[in-house]
Structures are given as C-alpha cells and as structure tokens.
Amino acid sequence: MANILVTGSDGQLGREIAELTKKRASSDCYYFTDAAELDITDALAVETFVEKNSIDLIINCAAYNKVGEAEKQMDMAVKVNVTGPANLAATALKHNIYLIHFSTDYVFNGEARTPYHEADRTCPINAYGRTKYAGEVAVKKSGCMSIIIRTSWLYSPLTQDNFVRKMIGLSDYYEEIKVVCDQIGTPTYAADLAEALLKIIPQLSKENPIYGEVFHYSNEGKCSWADFAEKIMSTLKIDCDIIRVTSEEYADSVRRPAYSVLDKTLIKKRFGVAVPSWERSLSKAARLFKR
Ligand SMILES: NC(=O)c1ccc[n+]([C@@H]2O[C@H](COP(=O)([O-])OP(=O)(O)OC[C@H]3O[C@@H](n4cnc5c(N)ncnc54)[C@H](OP(=O)(O)O)[C@@H]3O)[C@@H](O)[C@H]2O)c1
C-alpha cells in the first residue's frame, strides 16, 4: 500500500483520477489536494505535507493553464508551472520518491507536419508553453526520480472549464459558432489519461529508476478545433453550425502551434497503455456532458 499525493486535484485530470480510484477501490491511500489544501508554490508546505503523510509518490496535476492570460500574468504562470514543479521535485529527491509531472503539446512550435516524438526539438511560441517547458527542465534538473507526460487538448465532463463545455454553452445562445480550422492536434479525454496513469504507477520501480524521461499521451488521431467542434455537435445531437475560420480571421491575441499531434509509440511500448481514438472517447464522454 502506497501513500499517493495528487496536487491540483480539483482540475480535470485530478478529478478523473479521483473518480477512477474510487471506482477501483484502490488499496493505495490517495491524498487529493488543490491549492487551498496544498499550494505547490510553497516549498515548506510541500515538504511538510510529504513528510507528515509519509508520501511515496507525487502526481502533479496542478498547473496554470490559461493560455491567453499567461501572456499578461507571466509571474503567476511561472510560479505555478515552474516554481511549483521545482518544489515538488526537490521534495521528491529528498525523500527518494517518484514525481509524475504533466506537460503540454504547446512546448512545440507547430511547424512539423508529422506527429512529434519526445526527443523532437522544443520551441514554445507562447508564454504558457514557455513556462510549461521551464517546468519540465526544473523537474529534470532536480535529479529526482520522475516521468513527465505531455498531453494535449484535455477535456473532462467533471469540470466546467474546457472546450467541450464551451461549445455546448455557446450553442445555447448562437446558431453558429466560429472555430479555427488551421490548428491541428488531438483532443484527450482526461479519463483515458487517468486510466493510463494508473497502469503506469505500478510499473515505476526504484530498482530500475527513471529520471525525468518524457512521454507523450493524447488520444489517437488528429483534427482541427473546428473538426472537434463539429464532432461535439453531432455526437451530442446539438443543432448548431460550426463556421470554419483561420487563426488570422479569428484574431486570437496569442500564438498557438499550427500542428501539435503527439506520437504515442514510446508510452504504449514502455507501459502497455491503451490509446483510444479521440472520436471514440468523445462518444464515451458525451453522455456525461449534461446540457
Ligand atoms: N487543459 C488542457 O487542455 C491541457 C493541455 C495540455 C496539457 N495540460 C496539462 O495537463 C495537466 C492537467 O491539466 P488540467 O486540464 O487537469 O488542469 P486544470 O483543470 O487547470 O487543473 C489544474 C488545477 O491546479 C490548481 N492549481 C492552480 N495553482 C495551484 C497551486 N499553486 N497549487 C495547487 N494547485 C493549483 C487549479 O486551481 P484553480 O483552477 O483554482 O487555478 C486547478 O484546480 C497540467 O499539467 C496541464 O498543464 C493540460
């Protein structure tokens, strides 16, 4: 039986992990915390929590994910996405325990036209991506036992703030919605990532330690945000037209990668995790998105 700390657990991934462990009746003891219980930017609080509760593994789901606002709130984004992981990594190193940390497809510049491998050159083009990349570096540099999982376009029916909910919400007011069609990536149902995570955990060994290795996990396949929106409408049987616009026409103030599909070969081979297609996972999640 292990004591497992989950940080940022009120978010999409954290809630899916909580849901899954509840269903599975895991024999491990999970400590689900969000900023109110454990602020990862507070090094002393992190160390005290881990020491007091004899934590054996840290799963960091905490993040500053507001891509647009990160441009103006760089200090805040750096605190949560860089200082926080650095604190967790320092404590993991001190206690000789694993840290599982999450990062993003936005560490890439989007100039590729084939799926990104873990070792491909990173070159974030916005503030959010830069802070997430710096978080990866902080975890690696710490020298603690760790894996870093990059994911993309995460959504969960257990929270309010994601693309699927946004589309459903807008469809209540508008008959047509403009969505960008020239950014290609892969949606990821957070429940699938939680499932993969629970398959990975028992395979992490101290005898054969991993230090800061990066893995990619998203659902299988690729689409544009406009394709994703169309599929949301058809799957949920919502009568709303998606108007396909370019990023230029949409006039978003933040640059986003034009292509950020992740190659999942490594994580599948190493840990034997399943990677369902994004369409199949959306269909599965759809019944949980109540209008
Ligand atoms: N969402 C995506 O589309 C996406 C895409 C690629 C990668 N990822 C990565 O995947 C991971 C999980 O993402 P997610 O979508 O589950 O994130 P999320 O829903 O935004 O959840 C993050 C949680 O962390 C909390 N938090 C913020 N600052 C904190 C602090 N100082 N200490 C403790 N908790 C704090 C947040 O609270 P508040 O809400 O109150 O701030 C929130 O509950 C993150 O590493 C993220 O960067 C996400």
Nearest CA to ligand 1 atom 18: 11
Distance CA 82, CA 135 (A): 4
| Residues 252 and 196: beta-carbon distance below 8 Å | no
Q: Is the pLDDT of residue 193 over 60?
A: yes
What are the backbone angles phi and psi of residue 102, rounded to the nearest 5°? -115, 140
CB atoms within 10 A of CB 64: 24
The pLDDT tens digits of the residues spanning 129-179 come to 999 999 999 999 999 999 999 999 999 999 999 999 999 999 999 999 999
Q: Give Cα separations from 18 to 7, 54, 59, 113 (angstroms).
A: 11, 20, 12, 36
Q: DSSP class of residue 208?
A: S
Task: Please give the distance, rounded to the nearest whole angstrom, from the Cα atom of residue 81 to the centre of ligand 1.
Answer: 9
| Residues 56 and 2: beta-carbon distance below 8 Å | yes
Q: Determine whether the shortest distance from the Cβ of 185 to ligand 1 is under 6 A.
A: no
| Sequence letter at residue 205 | S
The partner residues of 245 in beta bridges, in order of sequence, read 180
The pLDDT tens digits of the residues spanning 39-96 come to 999 999 999 999 999 999 999 999 999 999 999 999 999 999 999 999 999 999 999 9
Distance CA 77, CA 70 (A): 6
| The pLDDT of residue 291 | 55
User: What sign results for the dihedral spanned by CA atoms 205, 108, 166, 179?
Assistant: negative
Task: Please give the distance, rounded to the nearest whole angstrom, from the Cα atom of residue 239 to the centre of ligand 1.
Answer: 31
| The pLDDT of residue 282 | 98
User: Residue 122: pLDDT band by 50, 70, 90 thresholds?
Assistant: very high
Average pLDDT over residues 257-274: 98
Q: Determine whether the shortest distance from the Cβ of 13 to ligand 1 is under 6 A.
A: yes
The partner residues of 117 in beta bridges, in order of sequence, read none
Q: Determine whether the shortest distance from the Cβ of 189 to ligand 1 is under 6 A.
A: no
Q: Which two tokens stand for residue 242?
A: 């998606």
Q: Is the pLDDT of residue 283 over 70?
A: yes
The pLDDT tens digits of the residues spanning 197-215 come to 999 999 999 999 999 999 9
The whole-chain average pLDDT of the chain stands at 97
Distance CA 111, CA 102 (A): 22
User: Residue 251: pLDDT band by 50, 70, 90 thresholds?
Assistant: confident
Ligand 1 atom with least separation from CA of 12 = 16
Which DSSP string do the residues of 114-135 spell out, in sequence order?
SPBPTTSPP---SHHHHHHHHH
Ligand 1 atom with least separation from CA of 101 = 45
Q: Determine whether the shortest distance from the Cβ of 228 to ligand 1 is under 6 A.
A: no
Residues labelled catalytic = 128
Q: Determine whether the shortest distance from the Cβ of 285 to ligand 1 is under 6 A.
A: no
Identify the three-state secondary structure at position 197. Answer: helix
Distance CA 217, CA 279 (A): 16
User: Residue 26: pLDDT band by 50, 70, 90 thresholds?
Assistant: confident
Ligand 1 pocket test, candidate residues 6, 7, 19, 34, most atoms within 8 A of CB:
34
Which is the CATH superfamily of the domain at 3-161+186-220+261-276?
NAD(P)-binding Rossmann-like Domain (3.40.50.720)
Q: Is the pLDDT of residue 290 over 80?
A: no
Q: Is the pLDDT of residue 114 over 60?
A: yes
| Sequence letter at residue 17 | I
| Residues 279 and 290: beta-carbon distance below 8 Å | no
Among 80, 84, 79, residue whose Cα is nearest residue 45? 84
What are the backbone angles phi and psi of residue 263, rounded to the nearest 5°? -85, 130
Q: Is the pLDDT of residue 103 over 70?
A: yes
